[in-house]
Amino acid sequence: MKKTIGILGGMGPLATADLFIKIVTQTKAAGDNDHIRVYIDSNSAIPDRTAAILTGGPDPVEEMTSALRHLESCGADCIIMPCNTAHYFLPRLQEKTEIPILNMLEITARSCASRYPGKRTAVLATRGTLATGLYSAALEKAGVDYLIPDEGEQDILMHLIYEVVKASRPLEPEADTWASLLDGLRKKGADYFILGCTELPIVASTLSAEGPFVDPTAELAKAAIRFCEYETTGE
């Protein structure tokens, strides 16, 4: 019996689409019938995760649970969430289901350790994700050296994530801002960058700037493919 994937999405919708595309393009397949069955609940009603963590905004777990129940009813064998900040709530969600929820941050940390041993990464993420310390914990567990953007750099990241990608504004005018952010972090000792918000792979793929980058969305897609006992393309 072939295993299936459930995407608990809507955080945001474009990031959800990006994850699905990466599952399809990274699955080794000779035709349509060689691909994994994927169920998607893109629940855009899920409250903002960063606001919930930092400023007492509405708890997103109720709406996340609604999507989880839909994916359970479809028969998903694993659940993946294309939102780094949402992983703060993963333990509460996991308590509500027997279906394994794959942890994107831990998967990413292990990939960093394997691909860039002895190198230092910079974690590019929302204030909410950085405030939880989840990436720090995952990277330290995997033995990965890292640095965290300062307040001004976090302002730039929040602008790109919320005021540009989530707001469906064009990215091209932000090219210099993005390049300057990366250059500044590189001068502080970063050898490569974790795109630790699922909007940021969209930024990196649209704007030409030197990396290298680790894309947690792509790492999560590959982990889900392997969980379902399919082969990846090796990209």
Cβ–Cβ < 8 Å for 228, 77: yes
Report the DSSP pairing between strands 120-124 and 192-195: parallel
* Active-site residue, 78 included: no
Which one is catalytic: 74, 78, 112, 197? Answer: 197
* Active-site residue, 83 included: yes
Which one is catalytic: 74, 78, 83, 112? Answer: 83
Q: Which residues are catalytic?
A: 83, 197
